[in-house]
Each structure stands twice: as structure tokens, then as C-alpha cells.
Amino acid sequence: MELPGFAVAVWMSVCLYAPVVGYPSGKVRGACTSMVPCHGSSPQLSPEHFITVNATEFKPGNNIEVHLSGPDFEGFFIQARDAEHLDSPAVGSFVLADRRWSQLLTCGHTKNSAVSHTSKAKKKGIKVYWIAPGDAPKHVQFLATVVKKYRIFWVKIPGPIVSQPEVLSPTPPLHATSEPMSTSLPVSYISKPFSASGCGIMKFCIRNPTDCDPGSASCFFLSFQQEDSSVFIEMSGPSEGYLSFAFSHDQWMGGDDAYLCVNEDHRVHVSTAHLKQRSHPLLDSENALEDVSWRLADGVLQCSFRRSIRLPAYKGRFNLDTSYYIFLADGEASEGGLIHKHRRQPLVTDGLYNVTGLPQDIGGSRAPRLIKAHGALMFVAWITTVSIGVIVARFFKPVWSHSFLLGKELWFQVHRFLMLTTVMLTSVSFVLPFVYRGGWSHQAGFHPYLGCAVMALTVFQPLVAGFRPSRHAPRRQLFNWFHWSTGTTARILAVVTMFLGMDLPALDLPDPWDTYAMIGFVAWHVGIDVLLEIHSYCLIRKAELIEDDRVQILQSLTSAEAEGRLFKQIVLTIYVCGNIVFLVTFLIAINQV
């Protein structure tokens, strides 16, 4: 989670020092066009490194293995460009073979269109995969910039040229030449992104974000279209590893009918599987799918296939004429097609749906309802009730000391009500994750530990308040300091806990928006607190400076009280409205995940 101050400092450092310090982290987007590192020296003329590829021809959607090798080097930058116009933008996208040494960059409008180093550690060779786009030029050449040492580098080292075979039409047909997969299924190439036309009319669709275009690089799309006794299924989304969906009888993983599209060595393998609890999916030895097609382009994985509505001969396959919860997940896959656990919560429909029934166009949620409720209650408690309660107790004792409610001073009754509400909301919210997980979460980092500390302090604070000494007792001052320090510690820990919780997979609010919004709230609260402190100090100084006679002092104090009361009430009104704005903003974000 990045702080704005740190981000600004990094940005300024890059802007001011890029011409002399270079980019040891490989974040070289500024060199996308020229491919020249800002090292303050001229490039070498005779390259020592070279590029090799495993093919000389390609068709859209094909992948080509690209090797950069030579004597030890620290940095590199690889692109593919139109061989007839080398000054044109980068062409196609890359997929990494080893994330330890290389990373993907976006040059221009093409995602993952360049590859660079991750650190200045010495390396002898780099392997990546280039994916040919649908609109690729006829001839493509690979170029590389290599940095041996800080002032020793080569720019745009020319690599091999790969070409499209002579065809009558530049656009490949919908189904290209079939190639066998390990499942021995006939597989064909998808020539273009899926379409959402017909969603809710002819086919059942799930989209995330809602109403997104399947052709965009941020849209997760799943559709089902019944054709006689079978269902044609399309699935796509931004992923370099795998996409999967599953039918389930409940909103928990386990005992589910799953379907996976896995990027295995830059070919997509489509298979069925059975999910058992939260363990690795059990792949089926026999595949019941037909008409399998796939496509990898611009960081988007697509696959489509057909299966019968009923498959009595295949154990574990659900009948598609029944209602289920539908899961949609994505994650990374290593070489050999081994999939890893999804790093974020799967998308889950909010109810049971029959994909062969009435066509619908729906969305889903990546955050379970219990976790949403947990986050919402915590935001209500620690953004509104506790913050307002602290301001009232700190600055409104003299303002509301002569007003009473149910036999007690008004400020005290308001403070006590808000704090007891905080205890109630926090207690209810604290239980919800344990109900959802069925116990302790070992994958949530420090969040649950800090949450337990906040819960303990939240309960401890009102218990201690019940034993406070009388107003003029010798120990009252000690109690006041202890009460203040305990409450302040609880508030600080609560804010830190919310910072950590917002990016956990079960909730995962939009980043970095959530971080900036929370920093904005903290700054808002601190700013109001400082403003009221300064105002209180100024009123005291104003009264002390008048020393002519006792009557004038008393009149001034009365005038100062009136001024102070009006100012504080205006500030409190503005503060409450501001807190409500922050709260509503967070609640809307929680509702949308």
C-alpha cells in the first residue's frame, strides 16, 4: 500500500534524476519510443548480444519464443516492431517465462508490449514469448537494448524478422487449422474477442464489471447459449495464467463442477475438474467437451467449448438444466500448466441461476456478504461514531456543560451514546469474519491480529470508564490521561487495521483509490482537531489580554464563550457532514466489489 508522500518523492526523483541515474528497477516506460537509456553517455556500436527466435513465420494468435543472450548484462529492454517501419509503436504482447528476471511493460496503447529487467543483477540470458496480435503487420522485427554496465550499453540491437505467410486475406478465418492438445480434442483458433450482443436475449451472461465489453482488457466475461441438447460456453478475461468457472450448490468452494482454461506453454488447454474443499482441483482423465477454441492476445485469455446439458456417463458433471451458484476465478499458471491459487476472491453470483433457463445478463460479487457487512460496520463505527464522539468530549464540555439530557450533561450523554454504539458495531462486525471463515484466517496477514487488539481495547475502554473517580478526586487527572491514551491507541490501531483490510482478497477495494480516501479521512480528522485546538487557544489568550478591570474581564469572557460556542457548532456540523461523505463513499465502494 503506497503512501502519497512516498509516491510523490519517487516521481520527483525520476523526473529530476532520470537523465543520470537510469532505471535499475526496469520501469523504463519513458524509453518506449527511443529505447535509449538515460545514462548520460553514448551507446556502443558493435553489439555483443543477440536475439534468437524459434520460428520465422506466424499467424495472429501464435506465440514465438524469443531469446536474448550474450555476455553478462544488467539491464535490457525488448520490443517487437513493424520491420518496414522501425520507428512505429510496439507490436503484439509478451508473456514472461521467469518473473524473477523480467517484467512486462505497457508502451503506448498496447498492454504488455515490452519486456524489461526487474533489477540490476547480472544475467546471461532472457527468455520470453511474443504473442502475435490480430492486426499484426506482415513483417515483424525484434529489437533489444542491453545495458552491460551503467555507461556501456547498446541500443536497438536488431533481431530476427518473422513474417506472416502469404494469404489472400490479412484476417484469419474464424476457425484456423486445428491442432491437437494433450486431451486429443480438436482445437481451433478464435479470431476476435467475444461479443456481448445477445446477452439477456439469446444467451445467459455474467460480466464483471457489470455491462463491460468482452473486448476490453479489463472485462471478465462468461456466457451460456443453449443449442438443442447442448450449451455453447464462452469465457474470457485479463489473465496470463488461467481462467475458470464452476457450478456450485452453495457459495462455498467444495464439491463443485469446474471448467478450466489454462495457459500451458502459451497454448490454452481446456479441461474439466472437480473441486474438493479448498484444495487443488482434481482434473478429469476424460474430457466431455467439444468444439474447443482459444485465443491469447493483448493480455486477454479467451476460450470456448460446447458440452451436453446432461452427461450421465461422466461422474461429477452437473446437469445444466438445474440452478446453481456460479464461480468465476483467475490466477497464475507456471510452466507445465500447473495452476496456482487465485490471488483474489472469485466472482460469485448473488443467487442460484439456471443457465439454460430464461436468458439474463447479470454481474456478481468478489466479496462475500458477511465480509461486506464486516467492512461496512467497521467503517460506520470508526469513521463516524467514534470520531464524532471524541470531538464532542474534547471540545464541547464548556459549550454544552449547562445543557442536560436525562439528568446528565448533554456532551457526556452524546459522547457515551456514540461510544457505546461503537462498541456494539465493532462487536458485531468482529464476529462476522469468524462466521464466514469458520475459524481463524491464516492468510490475512496482520489484519486479524490488530483487529483482536482493537476489539480488546474497545471493550476495555467503557469498562474502565465505569470506575472513573469523581471530578475533584486526586486520581481524576491520572484517569483522564489513561482514558485518553487507551482511546487514542484504539483509534490508531483501528485505522491501521482498516488500511490493511481494504486490500485483502475477501474485500479488495479499488486500489489505490481506497488508500488515498483513507489518508484523506485521517487528514480531515486531524485538520479539524488542530483547528479546534487553535481556536480554543486563541479564545483563552483573548480573555487573558484584557486586564483593565474585573467587569471588563467577565464581559470579555462571556463574549468569548458566545463566539466559541457558535464557531464550534459550525465546525462540528461541517465535520459530521464530511465524515458522512467519507462513510458513504466507502459504503458505495464496498457495495460495488
> pLDDT tens-digit profile of 89-132?
999 999 888 888 889 898 888 888 999 998 888 999 999 999 89
Contacts of 390 (CB under 8 A, 6+ apart): 487, 491
Tell me which residue of 181, 194, 322, 336 sits closest to 264, measured CA to CA: 336
The winner for highest mean pLDDT among 159-173, 218-232, 293-307 is: 218-232
Q: Tell me: pLDDT of 146 over 90.
A: yes
Domain 29-163 shares a fold with domain 188-365 = yes
Give how far Cα 129 sits from Cα of 94, 108, 384, Å. Answer: 5, 19, 51
Residue 557 has a pLDDT of: 46
Segment 226-254 mean pLDDT = 91
Q: Dihedral of the CA atoms 502, 505, 507, 511 (nearest 10)?
A: 50
pLDDT at 543: 63
Q: 148: part of which helix (H) or strand (E)?
A: strand 139-149
Identify the residue with better confidence: 374 or 314: 374
Return the bridge partners of 52, or none.
Answer: 67
Q: How far is CA 318 from the centre of its chain?
A: 32
Q: How high is the pLDDT of residue 275?
A: 81
Which H or E run contains 312?
none
Residue 186: beta bridge partners? 180
3-state secondary structure of 259: strand
Query: C-alpha angle 70/73/78, rounded to 5°?
Result: 80
Domain ranges of the chain: 29-163, 188-365, 369-592
- Spatial strand order of the sheet with 75-82 comes to 102-107, 110-117, 75-82, 139-149, 152-163
For 420-438, the pLDDT digits (tens) are: 999 999 999 999 999 988 8
Q: How far apart are CA 338 and CA 180, in angstroms?
A: 20
Per-residue pLDDT band for 15 (boundaries 50, 70, 90) equals very low
pTM over 0.95: no
| Predicted local distance difference test score (pLDDT) of residue 324 | 96
pLDDT surpasses 50 at 554: no
Cβ-based neighbours of 92, under 8 Å, separated by 6 or more:
80, 110, 113, 130, 131, 132, 133, 136, 140
- Placement of cell 469572557 in the chain: 557
> Would you say residue 191 has pLDDT above 90?
no
- Assess contact for 95 and 131: CB atoms under 8 A: yes
Cα 419 to the center of its chain, rounded Å: 33
Neighbours of 181 (CB within 10 A): 18
Hey, what amino acid is at 212?
A: C
pLDDT band at 29 (very low <50, low <70, confident <90, very high): low
Higher pLDDT among residues 356 and 7, named by residue? 356
pLDDT at site 279: 66
Average pLDDT, the chain: 83
Under the banding of pLDDT at 50, 70 and 90, the label for residue 576 is: very high
Q: What does the DSSP 8-state code read for residue 382?
A: I
- How is residue 14 written as a grid cell? 525520476
pLDDT at residue number 28? 67
Per-residue pLDDT at 110:
82
Percent of the chain, pLDDT > 70?
85
- The SS3 call for residue 439 is coil
369-592 in CATH: which number? 1.20.120
Q: Which of 26-40, 134-148, 400-414, 448-462 has the lowest mean pLDDT?
A: 26-40
> Is-contact 292 186, C-beta < 8 A?
yes
Superfamily of the domain at 188-365: Cellobiose dehydrogenase, cytochrome domain (2.60.40.1210)
282, β-bridge pairs: 274
Residue 404's pLDDT band, with cuts at 50, 70 and 90, is confident
- pLDDT mean over 134-153: 91
The arithmetic mean of pLDDT across residues 228-244, rounded, is 93
Give the pLDDT confidence score for residue 568 in this predicted structure. Answer: 87
Q: What integer pLDDT is reported at residue 20 of this predicted model?
A: 34
Q: For the chain, first and last CA: distance in Å?
A: 18
Residue 12 has pLDDT above 70, yes or no: no
Mean pLDDT across 494-501: 93
Is 231's pLDDT higher than 90? Answer: yes
Helix (H) or strand (E) holding 205: strand 204-208
In whole angstroms, what is the distance from residue 271 CA to residue 311 CA? 15
Closest CA to 319 of 234, 244, 231: 231
C-alpha cell at 433: 469474519
CATH superfamily of 29-163: Reeler domain (2.60.40.4060)
- CB proximity list for 46: less than 8 A, separation 6 or greater: none
Say if residue 193's pLDDT is above 50. yes
Contact between 35 and 113 (Cβ < 8 Å): no
CB 287 within 8 A of CB 258: no
How far is it, in rounded angstroms, from Cα 43 to Cα 41?
7
- Classify burial at 110, counting beta carbons within 10 Å of its beta carbon; exposed 0-12, middle 13-18, buried 19 or more: middle
DSSP state letter for 239: -
Average pLDDT of span 362-368: 84
Q: Which residue has the higher pLDDT, 175 or 291?
A: 291
Q: For residue range 382-399, what is the model confidence (pLDDT) as tens digits?
A: 999 999 999 998 888 877
DSSP annotation string for 41-107: SPPPSS-S-EEEES-SB--TT-EEEEEEEEEEESEEEEEEEETT-TTSPB-SEEEES-TTTEEEEEE
Does the pLDDT value for residue 209 go beyond 70? yes
Rg (CA), the chain: 31
pLDDT of residue 1: 41
Q: What is the pLDDT of residue 205?
A: 96
pLDDT at 167: 45
Distance CA 446, CA 500 (A): 8
* CB neighbourhood size of 57 (10 A): 11
In 3D space, the residue among 194, 349, 328, 191 whose CA is nearest the CA of residue 261 turns out to be 328
Phi, psi (5° rounding) for residue 70? 150, -165
Secondary structure of residue 540 in the 3-state scheme: helix
For residues 296 and 291, give the distance between their C-alpha atoms in angstroms, rounded to a whole number: 17
What does the pLDDT read at residue 24? 59
Q: Which of 7-21, 98-112, 229-243, 424-438 has the lowest mean pLDDT?
A: 7-21
Report the pLDDT value the prediction gives residue 425, as an integer from 0 to 100.
96
Q: What is the mean pLDDT of residues 500-506?
A: 85
Q: What is the mean pLDDT of residues 219-230?
A: 94
> How far apart, in whole angstroms, are the C-alpha atoms of residue 389 and residue 465?
14
